[in-house]
Amino acid sequence: MPPKTHPFVEEAAEETRKGGLSRRDFFKYAACFGVSALVAGQLIGLSGPELAQAATMDWKGLEQESPFEIKNLLIQKAQDACAKTGCSVLNAGRGNPDFLNTTVRKGFALLTLFAATVAEKQGGARDIGYRRMKDGLAAEFTAFIKEQRGHPGAAFLERAMEYVTRDLGMDPDEAVFELTDGVQGDFYPDPPRIFPVTEAIGMRYLNRVVFSGKPPEGRFNLFATEGATAAMIYIFNSLRENMVLNPGDKVAIVTPVFSPYLELPVLADYGLKPVYIRCSEEMGWQIPDSEVAKLRDTGVKALSMVNPTNPTSVSLNADTVGRMAAAIREYNPDMVIISDTVYASFVDTFNTFGKELPENILGVYSYSKYFGVTGWRLGLVMVHENNVVDRIIRKLPRKDQARLDVRYRLTSTRPESIPFIERLEMDSRQVALAHTGGLSGPQQVGMCLFSLFELLDETFAYKKSIMDILRKRWTALYKALGLPEPTGDNLTRYYALVNIRTLAEKMYGKEFAAKLVKGHSLEFLFRLAEQHQTVCLPGVGFAGPDWSLRVALANIDEAACATVGANVLAVLAGYRKELGA
C-alpha cells in the first residue's frame, strides 16, 4: 500500500496516475508539503530507480523554470540525502546576507520606546496613548536620550538627530515629530509617496552611495517602496499604464541578470520583446561594442539592468557606461533606463548612468543587502525632476492623454499636470486607493536611520568591515577551487559565478571538458545536492554561461565557502571517473 501523507498530495498523486499532472510537477508539489521524493514516487507507484529517473531526467523541461524554483528542488534533494546521513544542507543559493547592522536596530527600538512614552503622557487609561503634536517634541527627545545614556542605541540616535538638524537644516521639532509619528505607524503615510524627512535623508544617502558624493545637476525626487522588487513592478506597471511602454515594444536587458528581471518584461501583463545586451566574460563582464550597438535601435524603448551585477558581482566600468550612454544620447535620447543599484554599496568604484544621463534614469535602490534587512522591505525609486518619461507622456496623442486624464482625475482637477513620480505612487494602488498608498511609517523611519548611520560613518568603517567579510569568503572559495581569484575595485564579491567548463579544462583538459558539456549542466547541480548536500543555482537561469553555477557568498561563512569549492571539485572528479580523459 502507498504511504499516507497529506490529503492534497494524495489527490495530486491520483491526478498524476491518471496522466493529468506531470511527474515532475507532482514531485515539486509534494515537496511543498514536506513529502520526500522517495515517498512521492511510492504514491504514484514508482520503484526507487524509476523515481530517480523520473525526478531528474527532464533537464530540458526543467531549464525553462526559474532558478529559484529549481533551487527548491535542489534543497529537497539535499534534505532527502541528509535525512539518511544526519548531515545538514549547505545552502549557497540564498541571496540573503547572514550579516546585519545591529546599531540601527538598537536605535530603532529606543525610538519606538520614546514614541510610546510620549504618547502615554496624554493617555487617560492603561495601555492607551494619544498622538502627539510637534511643538516641544525635540526638547522631550533630548531629555529622553539623556535619561537613556546607558542604552546602546542612545548615542547613535543623538548623533543622528544632530545631523538631521545641523547638516540637513531641518527644524528640530519637525524632524523629531516626523520620525516619532512615523515609527508609531498610527496614520497612513502622508504624503503617500514619501515623508519629507525620509526624502531629504534618503537623497543625501543616495548622493553618497550612488553618486559617490558628486550628484548631477537638478533635483531627484524619491518614492519609498517595499524593496527593489516592488519598485521594479511599480515602474513597469506605471510605464505601461502611461503608454510609455506598450505591448510589442522592445526592452534591452543587460545580462547576466537577476532572473526575475528576465521574466518580468515578457509576462503577458506587459508583452515586451527582450533584446539581450550580453556582458563578455573575456572582458571581465563588461559590454563589447557589438552589444552596445543594439542600443542604437530606436525601437528599443527601455534599458533594464542590475548594476553592479547579480550574479557576476561586477560594476560596469566608466568606459562601458560612457560608451552605452553615448549611444543612447546620439541615437536613442528618449530611452528609459531602469537601473537596480542594490549592490552599489559593496564596491569601491561605482559608475552610474544617473551621472551620464540623469534625465533618463529611473534608479532603484534597496537597503536589504547592505544592512541585512531583506525582511524589512526597504527600497527607493529615484526620478529626476526633468525626466524623459514626463516628456514622453506630454507628447502622447490627444486621445491617449484624454484616457490618462480619466484615470488620474480621481486624484486631481488637473490630472495632466501630475508628474510621473506621483503617478508611480498612485498606480501602485490602482489610483482609486492612492490616498492609502506609500511605504509604512515604521519602514520609512527604518530607512532614515539606516541612511543616517552610513552618513555618520565618515571613514566608511562599516562598509570596510562588510567588504572584508565578503573578500575573505571570496578568497576561500577560489582557493578551494584552485582558480585565480578575480580582483578589482569594481567587484562586490557578493556572489561568485563559477564557469564549470573552464574549471573542467583546468583540472582535466579540454578533451574531458568537451565530453562533460555534452551532458546537461543541471545534472551537475543535482549531483552536488544529492551527493554533497550543497545547493547552488544554475548560472544559465540568469542568462549566464550554460555550464556555470552561482554561489551566494553573503549567506555562508569562510569555511562553508571552502567546502562548496571542495564539493564542486568532488562532483567534477566523479564525472572524470565516468567519462575518462
pLDDT tens, N- to C-terminus, the chain (581 residues): 556 677 778 888 888 887 777 666 677 677 666 676 667 777 888 765 555 555 554 566 666 677 878 888 888 889 988 988 888 999 999 889 999 999 999 999 999 999 999 999 877 788 899 988 899 999 999 999 999 998 989 999 999 999 999 999 999 999 999 999 999 999 999 999 999 999 999 999 999 999 999 999 999 999 999 999 999 999 999 999 999 999 999 999 999 999 889 988 888 889 999 999 999 999 999 999 999 999 999 999 999 999 999 999 999 999 999 999 999 999 999 999 999 999 999 999 899 999 999 999 999 999 999 999 999 999 999 999 999 999 999 999 999 999 999 999 988 889 999 999 999 999 999 898 888 889 999 999 999 999 999 999 999 999 999 999 999 999 999 999 999 999 999 999 999 999 999 999 999 999 999 999 998 899 999 999 999 999 999 999 999 999 999 999 999 999 999 999 999 999 999 999 988 76
pLDDT reported for residue 567: 97
Nearest-angstrom CA–CA distance, 185 and 219: 29
**Do the bridges between strand 250-255 and strand 273-278 make them parallel or antiparallel, or are there none, so unpaired?**
parallel
Q: Do the beta carbons of residue 93 and residue 537 sit within 8 Å?
A: yes
Nearest-angstrom CA–CA distance, 568 and 532: 9
**Do the bridges between strand 90-91 and strand 361-366 make them parallel or antiparallel, or are there none, so unpaired?**
unpaired
Q: Do the beta carbons of residue 245 and residue 267 sit within 8 Å?
A: no
Q: Copy the grid coordinates of residue 170.
A: 531641518
Q: Do the beta carbons of residue 54 and residue 23 sit within 8 Å?
A: yes
Q: Copy the grid coordinates of residue 563.
A: 567546502
pLDDT reported for residue 57: 47
- Residue of 75, 33, 24, 12 lying closest to 525 (CA atoms): 75
Q: Do the beta carbons of residue 404 and residue 415 sit within 8 Å?
A: yes
Nearest-angstrom CA–CA distance, 245 and 251: 9
Nearest-angstrom CA–CA distance, 549 and 445: 38
Task: Give CATH for domain 461-579.
Answer: 3.90.1150.10
Q: Where are the domains of the chain?
A: 1-57, 103-187, 213-401, 461-579
Amino acid at 537: L
Partners of residue 250 on adjacent β-strands: 273, 300
Q: Copy the grid coordinates of residue 28.
A: 515539486
Partners of residue 534 on adjacent β-strands: 90
Q: Do the beta carbons of residue 48 and residue 54 sit within 8 Å?
A: no
* Residue 172 CB contacts under 8 Å (≥ 6 apart), including other chains: 138, 161, 165
Task: Give CATH for domain 213-401.
Answer: 3.40.640.10
Task: Give CATH for domain 103-187.
Answer: 1.10.20.110
Report DSSP state, residue 261.
H
CA dihedral 132, 138, 144, 147 (to 10 degrees): -160
- Residue of 36, 8, 39, 40 lying closest to 26 (CA atoms): 40
15, 19, 37, 66, 162 from 25: Cα distances, Å:
11, 12, 12, 14, 57
Phi–psi pair at 551, nearest 5 degrees: -110, 120
Q: Copy the grid coordinates of residue 324.
A: 552605452
End-to-end alpha-carbon separation of the chain, Å? 46
Nearest-angstrom CA–CA distance, 549 and 296: 32
* Residue 193 CB contacts under 8 Å (≥ 6 apart), including other chains: 221, 222, 223, 224, 421, 422, 424, 425, 437, 438
SS3 state at 336: strand
Amino acid at 423: R
pLDDT reported for residue 581: 64
pLDDT reported for residue 373: 97
Q: Copy the grid coordinates of residue 183.
A: 515609527
Where does 94-226 have alpha helices with state H?
Answer: 103-120, 137-147, 154-166, 172-184, 196-209
Helices (H) and strands (E) in the chain, counts: 26, 12
Nearest-angstrom CA–CA distance, 104 and 208: 18
Q: Do the beta carbons of residue 386 and residue 218 sit within 8 Å?
A: yes
Phi–psi pair at 318, nearest 5 degrees: -60, -35
Q: Do the beta carbons of residue 161 and residue 176 sit within 8 Å?
A: yes
